[in-house]
Structure 1
Amino acid sequence: MKKSWKIALASCLSVLMLTAAGCGGPKSQDAAAYTPEKPLIIKFSHVTTPDSPKGKASQKFAELMAEKTGGKVKVEVYPSSQLYGDKDELEALQAGNVHIIAPSATKLVGFNPAFQIVDMPFLFKNHESVLKFWDGELGKKLMTSLEDKNLLGLAMWENGFKVFTASKPLEKPEDFHGLKFRTQAGKVLEAQFKALGSGAATIPFGETYTALQQGTVDGQENTWNNIDTQKYEEVQKHLLVSNHGRIDYIVLTNKKWYSELPEEFRKAFDESMAEATAYERELAVELDKQSENNLRSSGKMKVVELSDAEREAFVKLMEPVYSEFAETVGKEIIDGARQL
């Protein structure tokens, strides 16, 4: 009887140890337990390419962590959905099978609808107001709003402002009437195009070029960099510099795992994330500007700027959208962003 009890106990302990190893969590509160030969492994999974701002910033984070901990921490970066894709990375993070991810803010709407703030049309006046929001109290409130889901927001990593493109001239709100635009899934985006008198079609990003080429849709919304790298100028002749919405990422970690990090490592982690965030933001702005210059100089698209008065005409059209989503997104958050 004693022998069978010991066997059962040993089996249970083996399962627990395997589970802990699978989660990759710290095995000790003491940083001294780790060495460059046997480091603490941190897995950072994301879906973009290694040469994207997100890809380069995640690698920068890995380098900083190794430097600040003397090699006692090794960050393994898995780009291009090598480890987990959009559909399963959040569950993997919650389970502790990966330690850091950086999904698009819109992917978090199912956990907290307030993350639709990035889709609210003509909300942020400029780049400075975006940074003030995410680095201020309202942004911090969103970052910590997922703790009951075992998720902790660490930082906002940029992609950029969205602009409109179309096969027909876009200069004023009336020009949108009757056109159909490709969009990501989302109620706010549907309401935005409805307010403009346009139709909206949810089409996967990878199929957008063909949809524009074949005339399935008349236009789309995206960052300068996405438009440039996807070569939309080949199938879209008009671009409106609207800066009406955002495409940004939220860097997340597993809350329980993070809280159990040795204090020395957690300090290095926070410092490295802050430095990597500054690096990513600078790189994203630089890359988007480069793509803007590419598109302007190509001569393939007519680029139209909005004056303050012309922009205000679009803002007024969006009042029904603000009213509709005031409760869902949060009036405090919307008003706070508009005032920055």
Structure 2
Amino acid sequence: MKKLFGLSLLILIVVLSGCGSSSGESGGDGEEPLKIIAAHNQTDPENPYQDGLLAFKESVEEQSGGDIEVEVHAGTLGTSETELVEKLQTGAADVVLVSPGFMTSSGIDQVDLFAFPYLFNSYDHWEKTVQGEVGDEMAQIIKEESDNDFRMLGYWTAGVRHYYGDEPLQQMSDIDGKKMRTQTSGVVADFWKQTGAVPTSVAWGELYQALQQDVVDAAENAYPYFVQQDHHKTPNGKFITETGHDYTTRFLLTSGDLYDGLTDEQKEIIEEASKASVEAEWESLHSQEEEYKQQAIEEGAEVNQIDRQPFIDLAKPLQDKAAEEIGVTNLLEKIREIGESTEE
């Protein structure tokens, strides 16, 4: 009995000594600092994602006085969003950046709203949406639909997406029959099919070769991303038509369990750092959009404008149908109301 009691006491001491080592208790009083792993999927460190996470790191470490350390990974934990979210769920990453498209593959269909073509008419429209009531409602949807696996920290952008291909678009019919690298399912694919394009799946890392070798005739993305990859130097990427079909949304996420385990002070630090990251990422993106547009032109790309109204008219009924299917008609109407106010 004495041996059994002694063993039980030893186990109890070990268990109690382990308490207080969770993320919410780390840092300060000589303890090891809380370490946060923050990651995005872009391998080039010269991009807005990196700038945003570095701002997050700087704010967290300054506010905490070194009690919280942030380690930023640019593509080193995974170049696909699926990899990053898997690491978030297993605890190998604490803060990650993902797109609405990934979230829908996780079963949260409502976030596909932010991927609707021509949902926004300007950055002002987009910013007022994500920073207001609609953004708050979407953050709550993500928390509830994921059973608190994911907690929203902030809305980032990946710029305004435009068409680029083997010839300029003067009118919508010019895209008819073109093999276009874009999503091959969902409302985005439906939209491009309606224009006459043939949505084609090509991995981002393979797109330069696909444009070079006529695997696809065209693609669509924002200047900072496709110019960095030299897509504009290929025969099938040289002609850029500013369709402006998507003011993109990206979600800065953390684990709900991790967040709930933080102290109130640590939560405040993370939230303030998230705001700083949003401001830094937006500023970097806006600056780089103009910078890379000019670089593309200087390197031989041709840029033209097009009447967007036929595209917008095509997109609206698709928006209505998709919004009803995923249960976000009320949010769609709120976004449209915000858009009307920004146009006044």
Q: Provide TM-score, normalisation by structure 2.
A: 0.86
Unaligned runs of 5+ residues in structure 1 are none
Q: How far did residue 156 of structure 1 move?
A: 1.0
Does residue 145 of the first structure (1) align with residue 144 of the second (2)? no
Runs of 4+ residues deviating >4 angstroms: 1-21
Tell me which residue corresponds to 1:282.
Answer: 283
More deviation, 133-142/324-333: 324-333
From 331, 335, 338, the equivalent of 2:336 is 338
Tell me which residue corresponds to 1:91.
Answer: 86
Contact 1:44 1:77 in 2 (8 A): yes
Contact 2:100 2:115 in 1 (8 A): no
Give the 5 Å matches for 1:287-306: 287-298=288-299, 300-306=300-306
Does residue 44 of the first structure (1) align with residue 38 of the second (2)? yes
* Letter of the 1:316 counterpart: D
Percent of aligned pairs with the same residue?
Answer: 24
SS of 2:157's partner is strand
Contact 1:113 1:328 in 2 (8 A): no
Instruction: Quickly say closer, same or farther: Cα 1:227–1:12, change in 2 above 3 A.
Output: farther
Q: Provide TM-score, normalisation by structure 1.
A: 0.87
SS of 1:220's partner is strand
* Letter of the 1:118 counterpart: F
Contact 1:258 1:266 in 2 (8 A): yes
Hey, what's the Cα distance between the residues in 2 that align with 1:195 and 1:12? 67
RMSD: 2.8
Total equivalences in the alignment: 330
Q: How far did residue 61 of structure 1 move?
A: 1.3
Instruction: Quickly say closer, same or farther: Cα 1:36–1:193, change in 2 above 3 A.
Output: farther
Tell me which residue corresponds to 1:317.
Answer: 314
Tell me which residue corresponds to 2:157.
Answer: 158
From 41, 52, 55, the equivalent of 2:50 is 55
Hey, what's the Cα distance between the residues in 2 that align with 1:17 and 1:81? 35
Instruction: Quickly say closer, same or farther: Cα 1:72–1:296, change in 2 above 3 A.
Output: same
Hey, what's the Cα distance between the residues in 2 that align with 1:316 and 1:2? 83
Instruction: Quickly say closer, same or farther: Cα 1:322–1:290, change in 2 above 3 A.
Output: same
Q: Deviations over 1:142-178 (max 9, x none)?
A: 1222222421111111210100011123121111111
From 126, 136, 154, the equivalent of 1:130 is 126
Q: How far did residue 14 of structure 1 move?
A: 6.9
Hey, what's the Cα distance between the residues in 2 that align with 1:338 and 1:27? 41
Tell me which residue corresponds to 2:342.
Answer: none
SS of 1:51's partner is coil
Hey, what's the Cα distance between the residues in 1 that align with 2:194 and 2:87? 38
* Letter of the 1:220 counterpart: A
Instruction: Quickly say closer, same or farther: Cα 1:263–1:168, change in 2 above 3 A.
Output: same
Contact 2:164 2:219 in 1 (8 A): yes
Contact 1:105 1:247 in 2 (8 A): no
Does residue 105 of the first structure (1) align with residue 100 of the second (2)? yes
SS of 1:102's partner is strand
Q: How far did residue 295 of structure 1 move?
A: 1.7
Unaligned runs of 5+ residues in structure 2 are 340-344
Tell me which residue corresponds to 2:213.
Answer: 214
Instruction: Quickly say closer, same or farther: Cα 1:262–1:303, change in 2 above 3 A.
Output: same
* Letter of the 2:270 counterpart: F
Q: How far did residue 183 of structure 1 move?
A: 1.1
Contact 1:35 1:71 in 2 (8 A): no
Q: Deviations over 1:245-292 (max 9, x none)?
A: 144321011122212312222222211211121111101111111111
Contact 2:81 2:97 in 1 (8 A): no
Hey, what's the Cα distance between the residues in 2 that align with 1:15 and 1:289? 57
Contact 1:111 1:146 in 2 (8 A): no
Q: How far did residue 131 of structure 1 move?
A: 0.8
Hey, what's the Cα distance between the residues in 1 that align with 2:311 and 2:59? 44
Give the 5 Å matches for 1:198-277: 198-235=197-234, 236-277=237-278
Q: How far did residue 13 of structure 1 move?
A: 8.9
* Letter of the 1:204 counterpart: A
Give the 5 Å matches for 1:8-47: 25-26=22-23, 28=25, 34-35=28-29, 38-47=32-41
Q: How far did residue 106 of structure 1 move?
A: 1.8
More deviation, 250-259/155-164: 250-259
Contact 1:45 1:84 in 2 (8 A): no
Contact 1:59 1:77 in 2 (8 A): yes
More deviation, 181-190/125-134: 181-190
Q: Deviations over 1:75-127 (max 9, x none)?
A: 12222133785223223323444321112232111331122233211121011
Tell me which residue corresponds to 2:72.
Answer: 77
SS of 1:251's partner is strand
SS of 1:48's partner is coil
Q: How far did residue 338 of structure 1 move?
A: 2.7
